[in-house]
Structure 1
Amino acid sequence: MKYKQYVSSCFSLNGHDHSWLYTQSYSVLGDYDEDTPPVPFDGLAHLIIYYHFRLCHNTLPLPLPLSCPGKPEKINLNEAGTESKPVTAAARLFTHQMGQSSSTVSYSTNQFLISPEPSDFTDEIKIGPLTDYTDGIPDECLACIFQLLNAADRKRSSLVCKRWLRVDGQSRRRLSLNAQSEITSYVPSIFTRFDSVAKLSLRCDRKSLSLNDDALRMISIQCESLTRLKLRGCREVTELGMADFAKNCKNLTKFSCGSCNFGAKGINMLLKYCIKLEELTIKRLRSVNYGNDLIVPGAAALSLKSICLKELVNGQCFETLVVECKMLKTLKVIRCLGDWDNVLVKMGNGNGSLSDVHLERLQLSDIGLGAISKCVNIDSLHIVKNPECSNLGLVSVAENCKKLKKLHIDGWKINQIGDEGLMAVAKQCPDLQELVLIGVHVTHFSMAAIASNCRRLERLALCGSGAIGDAEIACIAAKCVELKKLCIKGCAISDFAIEALAWGCPNLVKVKVRKCRGVSSEAVDWLLRRKGSLVVSFDAIESEGLDASGSDVVGQESGVEFPVMGGQVVVGDGPSVSNGRLAQFRAKMGLFASRNLVPRAFHRPSNHGDSSKSNL
């Protein structure tokens, strides 16, 4: 097989659609091994040259290495404190005449550059004058190019020359650091280089000693542009450190902390000085769990729009803050001990801004749901594993919150919420677009009401309900004309439900069928043939592997994801079900004369999920 020596390469502007065309010229020089790639470039070189010519609206040939057709030669660039990493030779195309020191790059680029326009395509290519083709790119455009690179490529690119190092540091907006105590001595140098960081994440594992108040204080002084901060496992940060940080970072708009040791006083200082704070997330804050200190609203009460409280023993200390934030739009309370009915009763009176509410595993009853229903502008509601919530509370929500668009209910299979509450939702909430029912005992009556009245329903998930059968799915297929995504998990459906989906739901694009023992892979194959553009995720399980109720659906997996695999069925590990019913189905449809089924991608379905995550 012949190999080709690249002799010229350039981008040209297409006058018709203003796109850039990449052209190459070759000269056949000899044979090459099939394992040796003839293209000597890496993606970084192509990306930078592409944007160079696109931004400058000019056409120039690309300088290419003479090492073709061999594999791209790799070099080692040593970083301080890290192992040397390989970098392809194409990165060296841009290092000439950039003023780098010998400690940064210690090689010559002459042997890797060729003249832009060789005089003879058949003779030996001569080396021409060396040019820095990135010299004309403004720093702002170079920063935009860096933003398109992944973390590893961007880190290596910063070592090419001093200018790239400077531009990379000045253009960094997000930074995530391992917040161990050893980082304290490096804080000044880190934030001298990255002086424009607006979003900072500091994480420390449980077995390590985290940074302390001094380090956090230095960060707050040097990061003048900081607007978002996330602390995870920073157990050495105390209330004094939080006070100093809040005084220096008054432009903070988003704060999140988890598994830290500072208490209510630290949060109060943050609410006092950070007057622009909009989002507050508190998770597993240990010192808040003890003592009688309360969280007071402070100046941030006028700007706070989102509050998330998770796994707090003494979550009621945030009661005053939740009640006094009149601009609050999002409230999430997850696994926090204490009686939350009183908090919601006080909050529900007069808060017209609240639109998104998530209540999970709380001591909450219909009284709390009735109170939250007074916030008439709620359009998204999650009621997850609250055993004291029943149809009565859901009816109250439906009658008052008529703008509801998203409703997620995890009934925990205790039959407290069923047809009565869902029929009220169907009657009072015609704008419903997303409905997720997990462990809720629903029948044909409520499903028919929802399918008939909620004509804008686009996303539907039915999980762990033995009452959902072929009739309910057929009703959905016939009446939910706007439905785009459907998830059925652990329900008593058969191949006839799949057949109904094939003839209904004209806008359906994604379907997920899990742990439904009555559904065969042949039926799913036929569904895919009937709707070729449909994306289907399906696992075939043994008949005795799961009862019709899908007992393990709610406890282990409530997240519903649709893998993007156009034209394929995603099938799980279990063997497909085959019995006499399938033969009847094939005979009825008359479409299974051949056993040649579409290709499948096999994977093990995940059994991990968080009920607080979106199901669709």
Structure 2
Amino acid sequence: MPYSPKKTPKPLKKPVSWPDLWFKNKALKHVVLKMQLQTLSTAAKEKAKSETYETQTLDDSANDLTSLLSDSLLLRILSKLPESQQNSNSLVCKRWLALQGSLVRSIKLLEWDFLQSGRLVSRFPNLNDVDLVRACIGSPRNSGILLTHKFISIHLDSDFFPGGFIQEEKLLSPNSIDGGLRVLARGCPNLRKLVLIAATEDGLSSVAEECPTLQELELHCCSDLSLRGISACQNLQILKLIGIVDGFYNSVISDIGLTILAQGCRRLVKLELSGCEGSYDGIKAIGQCCQMLEELTLCDHRMDGGWLSALSFCGNLKTLRLQSCKSIDTNPGPDEHLGSCPTLERLHLQRCQVRDKQSVKAMFLVCEAVREIVLQDCWGLDNDMFSMASTFRRVKFLSLEGCSLLTTEGLESVILSWNELKRLRVVSCNNIRDSEVTPELSTLFSVLKELQWRPDSRSLLLSNLAGTGVGKRGSRFFKRV
């Protein structure tokens, strides 16, 4: 059989790929190469940019001379700058932000979550004056209606409730308030002043235990039993209790709360009771227990009759203020049972009703040792009422403002009997006139150390325009043609 060599099989053809087709085409090959070069160029630019940024950052750090200063030294420098620059200083860097936050001592909180989350105490660790009232009230922040009172300021919506602008459902729950107070007490142990609303006994107890340096406390809308929480405030010196604010909220502080307060806060120096109820027993308890009390302020009080005689137990009282009181004492009792305050030096009455002759007489008898009397916008103060002030013998300063019923004769009959009078201020008392000043009164004016005499605007105007011809029926400026 003839030999026949085996035929070698032909190799299989490799399947054609897209890159092979592209590179066979010179135009496509040029496009791909250009794309690769652009990619390499972009990467090189990004790398150079990153290196430039790092170099610039190192250069900026090297040029930041404040980085060479210690925190304590930089803190002393920042503390010397004006308060208007605080916000801009905190934007410089994180270090300045932290240091500027440690310089803040006083704050009025608007958002309760900022406190309860712990961000407040971490952002401002050295706070000693905190106002939490606005944060405890659920009022609309974007409202264009802002209602401001002497004690409180809130935003309002269009709804109005007959019981007051601050309803109970608008206040935070007691648990939320207590939780926030615990966070604040632990984070700010050096707290010195605190303003609260609707606080409970537990919340106040945590503040009293954790903040031994607390000296001033202002409580809005609190009850008698909640005052047991501040009994541990051993260094509390200034206390303001606001029970009722007409149109805003109502809360009851009675003799029970005043007695609890007196037994727990024996180092009080200043006490203000606004819209509080009470009577002889509550004031007596304060006078007997708070022997360091020097200043007592009653604003719009709801005290029962007979409370004036309890002032004699305040053995160290130096200042008595009555503000916006509809009455002084509805039933002061016999004069022989009133007693007196021998240490009292200042008696201030502002915007009070003094139409009851018996109560005014009783107040003057209790305060017979005063040396400074301020009567401002007191309704009903006429010559008859003011004549009872002749019982005072040690008055050195008298200020009358807005007493429109008092005349020159009534003023003269009293102050001429005060041999120690050194300073006199008479402003906006329209029935006291220059033309009625007697020679005896002029002689008294000449020996006073200080005299401010502006009884009415007309007398002041004529004295300033004397000799100019102005005010003579227009004869100088207006002539008939």
What are the equivalent positions in structure 2 for 1:82-481 lying under 5 Å apart? 142-143=77-78, 145-146=80-81, 149=82, 151=84, 155=87, 192-197=98-103, 199-204=105-110, 210-212=111-113, 215=116, 217-221=118-122, 223-235=124-136, 238-258=177-197, 262-283=199-220, 285=221, 288=222, 293-297=225-229, 300-312=232-244, 313-316=251-254, 318-319=257-258, 320-336=260-276, 338-384=277-323, 385-387=325-327, 389=329, 392=332, 399-409=339-349, 410-416=351-357, 420-421=361-362, 424=365, 428-429=368-369, 431-436=370-375, 438-443=378-383, 446=386, 450=390, 453-457=393-397, 459-464=398-403, 466=405, 468-474=406-412
The change in CA–CA distance for 1:446 and 1:485 in structure 2 (over 3 A counts) is closer
Q: Give a deviation string over 1:391-441, Cα, whole Å, max 9, x none.
A: 947978984312222212354143245763466367x31x51242251253
3-state SS of paired residue (1:252) = coil
Within 1, Cα distance between the matches of 2:203 and 2:442?
A: 55
1:169-210 Cα deviation digits (max 9, x unpaired)? 5xxxxxxxxxxxxxxxxxxxx6x2434235231243xxxxx2
Cα distance between partner residues in 1 of 2:263 and 2:336:
21
Partners of 1:382 and 1:371 in 2: how far apart? Answer: 15
Q: Secondary structure at the match of 1:267?
A: helix
Q: Are the counterparts in 1 of residues 340 and 365 from structure 2 also a CA contact under 8 Å?
A: no
What TM-score, normalized by structure 1, do the two folds share? 0.48
| Equivalent AA in structure 1 for residue 253 of structure 2 | G
| Deviation, structure 1 residue 495 | 3.0
Write the distance in 1 (CA, Å) between the matches of 2:292 and 2:113. 38
| SS of equivalent residue, structure 1 residue 402 | coil
Over the residues paired in the alignment, what is the CA RMSD in angstroms?
4.3
Q: Is the 8 A contact 1:323 1:343 kept in 2?
A: no
Q: Report percent identity of matched pairs.
A: 13
Q: SS of the residue aligned with 1:349?
A: helix
Partners of 2:364 and 2:280 lie apart in 1 by 25
Distance 1:447 1:266 in 2: 50
Structure 1 residue 470, shift from structure 2 partner: 1.2
Instruction: Look up the SS of the partner of 1:238 in the other structure.
Output: helix
* TM-score (normalizing by structure 2): 0.60
Corresponding residue of 1:508: 450
Q: Residue 230 of structure 1: CA displacement?
A: 1.6
Instruction: Give 1:234 deviation, angstroms.
Output: 0.8
Aligned partners of 2:425, 2:366: CA distance in 1, in Å?
Answer: 19
Aligned ranges for residues 45-84 of structure 1 at < 5 Å? none
1:595 maps to which residue?
469
Q: Following the alignment from structure 1 to structure 2, what is the Cα–Cα distance between the partners of residues 298 and 419?
A: 35
The letter of the residue matching 1:219 is L
Q: May I ask how many residue pairs the two structures share in their alignment?
A: 355
Q: Deviation at 1:489?
A: 3.6
Q: Could you list the per-position Cα deviations for residues 320-360 of structure 1 after superposition, in whole angstroms to 9, with x for gaps in the alignment?
A: 13432111111101113x43443223222243211110112
Give the C-alpha shift of residue 213 in structure 1.
6.5
| Deviation larger for 352-361 or 488-497 | 488-497
**5+ residue gaps in structure 1?**
1-98, 106-131, 170-189, 205-209, 514-518, 530-591, 598-616
Aligned to 2:21: none
Contact 2:201-2:225 at 8 Å conserved across structures: yes
Three-state SS of the structure 1 residue aligned to 2:236 is: coil
Q: Which has the larger radius of gyration?
A: 2
Shift of 1:387: 2.3
Deviation at 1:594, TM superposition (A): 3.6
**Structure 1 contact 444–471 (Cα < 8 Å) conserved:** no
Change beyond 3 A, Cα 1:352–1:202: same
Aligned in 2, Cα 1:140/1:231: closer, same or farther, shift over 3 Å? closer
The DSSP-based 3-state class of the residue aligned with 1:323 is: helix
Q: What pairs with 1:559-574 in structure 2 (closer than 5 Å)?
A: none
1:308 counterpart letter in structure 2: K
In the TM superposition, residue 143 of structure 1 has moved relative to its aligned partner by 4.1
CA distance in 2, matches of 1:445, 1:238: 48
Q: Please state how far the C-alpha of 1:280 moved relative to its aligned partner.
A: 0.8
Q: How far, CA to CA, are the matches of 1:365 and 1:388 in structure 2?
A: 10
Q: Give the number of the structure whose residues are more often helix, by fraction.
A: 2
